[in-house]
Structure 1
Amino acid sequence: MNIYDFTFRRLDGGEQAMADYRGRVLLLVNTASRCGFTPQYAGLETLHRRFGEQGLTVIGFPCNQFGEQEPGAASEIGAFCQKNYGVDFEMADKIDVNGARAHPLWQYLKQQRRGLLGRPVRWNFSKFLVDRQGRVVARFAPFTRPEKLAARIEALLQ
C-alpha cells in the first residue's frame, strides 16, 4: 500500500484520487476555521502560490475533532477560507483524522510518521510532507508555521 492507493472527497463533493498527484510534492494538513492556528491558511496559500507551478500541491483536510473548531458544512468552510484567506489550494470534505472513523489516508499518514507525542494527530494544522515518489518524509506539529517549511519543500522540488 502507498499514498497513491487512497482517495478522498473534495470540498465540492467530487471524489479525488491521490494517484492524480503522482510526481508532485504534497503538503497535507488537517485544518479548522475556528482554531488559534487558523491564520496558517495564509501561509499555506503562500506556499501554494510560490511553489505550485514547480510541483507542490497543498491539500487541506477540515476536521472537527479538536474542540469542535470546524462545525460548518462544506459550503461554509469553502466560503470562509476564500473570503478570509483567499484559499485557492485543494480542500477536502470534512474528515476525522483519529479514532475508529479516521479517514484511511490519515491512518496511513500516521503509520508512516510519528508525531512528537506518538502517532495520533494532537490538534488542527498538523502537517505531512510527501515527496514526488509518494513517500511521507516529514511530519510537522501544528505550531510549525507553513513558512518554516519552505526550504524543505524547495529541496524536494529540486
Structure 2
Amino acid sequence: MSDGLNYKDAKSIYYFTVNDLDSQPVSLQKYEGHVCIIVNVATECGMTKTNIEELNELYENYAETKGLRVLAFPCNQFIGTEPTDNAGMKQFVKLKQIKFDVFEKIQVNGSEGSPLWKYLKLKQGGVLGDFIKWNYTKFVVDKNGQPVERFGPNTSPKELIEYLQKYW
C-alpha cells in the first residue's frame, strides 16, 4: 500500500497510498495542507454510533471553514467488530450518511498492519505501548502531514476541537 516504502523512512503521511472502498489507490498527498483526523472504525462496536455521529458533525462544521479532513479505516482486529467487506461498508456509509472519507479495511496492529498505521504509531506512541488498543483510536495530523496528537477510544471526537484549533 505504501509503494514499497519503509514506514520508518516516511517524512509525513503524504508518502503513503491507501485503497478506497473501490480498491482504488489514493495518495495521501491529496490531503496536503489539511488538518486531518485519522481513525480506525468498526460498524458493530458499541462506540460506533456516538463516534460516527460526532466525526460527521466535526466534518460538516469544519471541512469548509477550516479544511478539516477525516480519514476512517475499518478494522476487524478487535473481537470481530468489523465483519463487513467493501460493499457492506459502502452500505454503512450511505445508511449513516457519512460525509468523510472511508477507506478499505486494514489491520492496525501486527506484522500485517498497514504501513500508514505503523507510521502513525511510531510518531505518536500510546501510553501503555504503541499498539492500537481498540476501535476509534484517533490521530490528529497537522497541515504538514505530521501526526501531532493521539487520542484513545474513550475520547469523544467533539473533545478534539480544542486540539484541532492549535493546528488550523
Q: TM-score scaled by structure 2? A: 0.90
Distance in 1, matches of 2:164 and 2:21, equals 25
Q: Deviation per CA, 1:92-115, whole angstroms, max 9, x where unpaired? A: 100000001000000000000111
Partner of 1:5: 15
Q: Secondary structure at the match of 2:165?
A: helix
Residue matched to 1:32: 42
Alpha-carbon distance, 1:150 to partner: 1.2
Is the CA contact 1:25–1:55 (under 8 Å) kept in the aligned structure 2? Answer: yes
Map of 1:114 onto structure 2: 125
Check whether the contact 1:31–1:61 (CA below 8 A) recurs between aligned residues.
yes
Q: CA deviation at 1:81?
A: 2.9
- What fraction of aligned residue pairs are identical, expressed as a percent? 38
* Alpha-carbon separation, structure 1, partners of 2:92 and 2:144: 33
CA deviation string 1:49-108 (max 9, x = no partner): 11101211101000000011101111111212321x310100010000000100000000
RMSD, aligned α-carbons: 0.9
- The one-letter code sitting in structure 2 at the alignment partner of 1:68 is G
Please tell me whether the aligned partners of residues 28 and 60 of structure 1 are also in contact (alpha carbons under 8 angstroms).
yes
CA contact (8 A) 1:63 1:96 kept: yes
Matching residue's letter, 1:15: P
- For residue 62 of structure 1, what is the amino acid of its counterpart? P
Q: 1:17 aligns with which of 27, 33, 49?
A: 27
Alignment partner, residue 47 of structure 1: 58
Paired with 1:78 and 1:60, the residues of 2 have a C-alpha distance of 12
List structure 1 runs of 4+ shifted beyond 4 angstroms.
none
Residue 156 of structure 1 aligns to a residue whose secondary structure is coil
Q: Report the Cα offset of residue 10 of structure 1.
A: 0.7
Gaps of at least 5 residues in structure 2 are 1-9
Is 1:79 aligned to residue 91 of structure 2? yes
- SS of the aligned residue for 1:60 comes to strand
Query: Following the alignment from structure 1 to structure 2, what is the Cα–Cα distance between the partners of residues 82 and 138?
Result: 29
92, 112, 120: which one pairs with 1:101?
112
Tell me if structure 2 keeps the 8 A contact 1:41–1:81: no
Residue 155 of structure 1: SS of its match in structure 2?
A: coil
